[in-house]
Amino acid sequence: MIRDVANETRPREDLEALQLKRLQAVVERVYHLVPFYRRRLDEAGLKPEQIRTLDDLRLLPFTTKQDLRDNYPFGMFAAPMDQVVRIHASSGTTGKSTPVAYTQRDLETWAELMARTLAAAGAHRGDIVHNAYGYGLFTGGLGFHYGAERLGAAVIPVSGGQTRRQIMLLQDFGPTVLVCTPSFALYLAEVGQELGMDFKKLQLRVGIFGAEPWTEGMRTEIENRLNLDAVDIYGLSEIIGPGVSVECIEGKSGLHMFEDHFLPEIIDPATLQPVPPGEMGELVITTITKEAMPLLRYRTRDVTSLNYAPCLCGRTLARMNRIRGRSDDMLIIRGVNVFPSQIEAILMETPGVAPHYQLIVDREGQLDTLEVQVEVDEAAFSDEVKQLQSLAQNIQRQIKDYLTVSVKVRLVEPRSIPRSEGKAKRVIDQRQI
């Protein structure tokens, strides 16, 4: 369902006019309120009034994670502390996690966008939402919490962890909507199965999964095992949290970006120039309504492409294709660029292996090596050694065929790869560089 028809189906021309007005306001605002941006714009010899068209966006400087670190903790805030009512932090894997701030109006916007998100996935008043995203500094839990309440659904704030207890709640409270990371959804399926639970007997109708990369193969696996429709949600703390873009349940083919609040661009991370329309590159987002911490041209490092073709759901908002990976997670194995999701796609198509894997990157001499560790499923596990060997060789051949890179494949026992209750850790980099 489209919750906000006026904002989600606006003719593109009107949308662009609104975006320009908001862009001009935000540039003006940060120029006067954030010393960092004033410096950057002055260095570029740019005054806010020089932003006259949407294309002038390209004149603006980029903002990077390093800029947030350099202004740690609160140097990027554009609102005084007596206007800030919430602080979250990004789940940085390296270095300190950087804080992000919200005014009361930012929280209103966020709740509304999350209500739109839930509605796009087919949720409505009367639904019960099992919210297994982590509550705390991570934006997943509270983002979904306020969105579900605003929609008028009943939210179960279960957060991450206590997987067996979650299985009990799924049975007893009869939630109709499940929200968590895709890897945790699969873990729930696995533990549920061990406990003899039949997902077909649950009330679950739809799941909204994100916060980490996943593939179409993983979607099929989750839909089959949990007996629900699965849609993809994308977001990042720096921009607002979850609720930047989401798939509609009608199309399930790309995530509608809430462009009345976020202005997307796709650039080539090497040249920093925009890529031709429809091509893949790094997603850059400018927030055009945020008050507490607006960001100009924030380099997300997430790799995707944008699709402006009309969608069968009726939304006019551009669709972002499934995130391919992060430009900084991209593995370069002997000169070949490899995204973990490309390997996942191959594994998901291979009968006999379970959807649990890890990639171990190492270095022998000057050469990078990649070992793919993947669990075999129970049935294949009882096969003879010869059959297992041929399964491993088959995966190795497929990866070589599709990605032109030689990897080592190690099949491991069922349930031996660590499960995650939040974001899965797929890549272990053992290189000492």
212 binds ligand DLL (CB under 6 A): yes
Q: How far is the CB of 386 from ligand DLL (least distance, A)?
A: 38
* String of contacts with ligand DLL for each residue 50-89, x by CB under 6 A: ----------------------------------------
Q: How far is the CB of 411 from ligand DLL (least distance, A)?
A: 26
Interface with ligand DLL (CB under 6 A), residue total 22
> How far, in Å, CA of 87 to CA of 208, rounded?
24
Q: How far is the CB of 97 from ligand DLL (least distance, A)?
A: 9
> Looking only at residues 304 through 323 of this chain, which bind ligand DLL when binding is defined by CB under 6 A?
323
Q: Which is nearer to ligand DLL, 110 or 133 (CB)?
A: 133
> How far, in Å, CA of 257 to CA of 69, rounded?
27
Whether the Cβ atoms of residue 297 and residue 272 lie closer than 8 Å to each other: no
Within 121-247, residue ranges assigned H as helices are 139-151, 163-172, 182-194, 216-226
294 binds ligand DLL (CB under 6 A): no
DSSP-assigned states of every residue in 354-375: EEEEEEEEEEETTEEEEEEEEE
Q: Which is nearer to ligand DLL, 141 or 175 (CB)?
A: 141
Q: Which is nearer to ligand DLL, 140 or 192 (CB)?
A: 140
Applying CB under 6 A, the span of 131-139, 153-161, 365-373, 405-413 interacting with ligand DLL comes to 131-139
Applying CB under 6 A, the span of 36-44, 79-87, 232-240, 343-351 interacting with ligand DLL comes to 232-240
Q: How far is the CB of 180 from ligand DLL (least distance, A)?
A: 9
The distance from CA 106 to its chain's CA centroid, rounded to whole angstroms, is 20
Instruction: Out of 48, 122, 147, 210, name the contact with ligand DLL by CB under 6 A.
Output: 210
Q: Which is nearer to ligand DLL, 31 or 262 (CB)?
A: 262
Of 237, 380, 212, nearest to 295 by C-alpha is 237
Whether the Cβ atoms of residue 294 and residue 261 lie closer than 8 Å to each other: no
Q: How far is the CB of 315 from ligand DLL (least distance, A)?
A: 18
Return the residue matching tokens 């609040």.
261
CA distances 29 to 20, 48, 73, 240, 289, Å, are 14, 9, 20, 18, 11
DSSP assigned state of 11: -
DSSP assigned state of 63: B
Q: Which two tokens stand for residue 350?
A: 């291979």
Q: How far is the CB of 78 from ligand DLL (least distance, A)?
A: 19
Applying CB under 6 A, the span of 119-127, 136-144, 271-279, 361-369 interacting with ligand DLL comes to 136-144
Q: How far is the CB of 139 from ligand DLL (least distance, A)?
A: 5
211 binds ligand DLL (CB under 6 A): yes
> How far, in Å, CA of 404 to CA of 423, rounded?
28
Proportion of the chain in helix, strand, coil states, percent, rounded to 5:
35, 25, 40
Residue 208, C-beta contacts closer than 8 angstroms, at least 6 positions apart? 117, 118, 121, 123, 144, 177, 178, 179, 230, 231, 233, 246
Instruction: Out of 48, 175, 192, 242, name the contact with ligand DLL by CB under 6 A.
Output: 242
Q: How far is the CB of 68 from ligand DLL (least distance, A)?
A: 11
Applying CB under 6 A, the span of 109-117, 124-132, 133-141, 261-269 interacting with ligand DLL comes to 133-141
Q: How far is the CB of 356 from ligand DLL (least distance, A)?
A: 18
302 binds ligand DLL (CB under 6 A): yes
> How far, in Å, CA of 365 to CA of 363, rounded?
6
Which residues bind to ligand DLL, rule: CB under 6 A? 90-91, 133, 138-140, 210-213, 232-237, 241-242, 300, 302, 323, 326
